[in-house]
């Protein structure tokens, strides 16, 4: 969860939540003095209550932006409504192609020549929210799923921070279910090799 700083090239991370108490992101956050919370599915009678605990924690944090990474579950619709335009996710494919799981394997099986990652606003569907930006790479004839996983992850580590920074600067905004991209963001994306698909 992030506190955005208007017209700045940075943001403040308010809280890092994971369902894995051993997650590396929690360790990094703790080392940086950032509040963390580990929530275990085993502590909740139902999946719905577990999800609710996660998103109630985000509400309590009072963040301006919720950034999902590796969240392999549908966000409950009540929270997609609460966080409309304030929740983003990164997905390892060039959406709308290959939503859901096993993207690298499916890309190879589908004979795709390009692959990559997408940052999008979150809605109630499976990777169906408005697309913000993408980064892509060529799929080699000898590419394996593990190779693509590593290569796409490297792209994710570049694209996701750029999108968050651009939102913090006011360069990217949700408007009536669409994504408004300022000219500065388009120029900066082009310089970095990112794609603004519109």
Mean pLDDT computed over 127-135:
96
Percentage with pLDDT > 90 across the chain: 83
Look at the block and give the residue holding tokens 């577990």: 50
Q: What is the pTM of this model?
A: 0.92
pLDDT digits (tens, 9 = 90+) for 11-60: 889 999 998 888 899 999 999 999 999 999 999 999 999 999 999 999 99
Is residue 139 within 8 Å of 115, Cβ to Cβ? yes
Predicted pLDDT at 3:
55
Backbone φ and ψ for 90, nearest 5 degrees, come out as -115, 135
Sorted by where each begins, the domain ranges of the chain are 1-64, 89-198
DSSP 8-state class, residue 182: -
Give CA angle at 68 (190, 124), nearest 5°.
100
Mode of pairing for the β-strands spanning 2-4 and 11-13: antiparallel
Catalytic residues: 91
Predicted pLDDT at 177:
83
Dist. CA 74–CA 69, nearest whole Å: 13
Pick the CATH number of 89-198 from 3.40.50.170, 3.30.420.10, 3.40.50.2300, 3.10.180.10: 3.40.50.170
Is residue 94 within 8 Å of 136, Cβ to Cβ? yes
């Amino acid at each position: 969860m992030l506190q955005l700083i208007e017209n700045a090239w940075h943001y403040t991370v308010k809280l890092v939540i994971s369902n894995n108490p051993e997650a590396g992101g929690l360790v990094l956050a703790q080392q940086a003095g950032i509040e963390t919370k580990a929530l275990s599915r085993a502590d909740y009678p139902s999946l719905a209550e577990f999800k609710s605990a996660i998103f109630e924690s985000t509400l309590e944090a009072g963040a301006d932006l919720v950034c999902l990474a590796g969240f392999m579950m549908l966000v409950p619709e009540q929270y997609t409504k609460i966080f409309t335009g304030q929740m983003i996710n990164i997905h390892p494919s060039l959406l709308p192609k290959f939503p859901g799981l096993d993207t690298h394997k499916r890309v190879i099986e589908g004979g795709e020549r390009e692959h990559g990652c997408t940052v999008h606003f979150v809605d109630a569907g499976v990777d169906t929210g408005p697309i913000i930006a993408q980064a892509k790479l060529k799929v080699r004839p000898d590419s394996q799923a593990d190779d693509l996983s590593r290569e796409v992850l490297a792209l994710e580590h570049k694209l996701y921070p750029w999108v968050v920074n651009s939102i913090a600067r006011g360069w990217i905004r949700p408007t009536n279910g669409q994504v408004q991209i300022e000219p500065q963001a388009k120029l900066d994306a082009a310089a970095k090799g990112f794609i603004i698909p519109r």
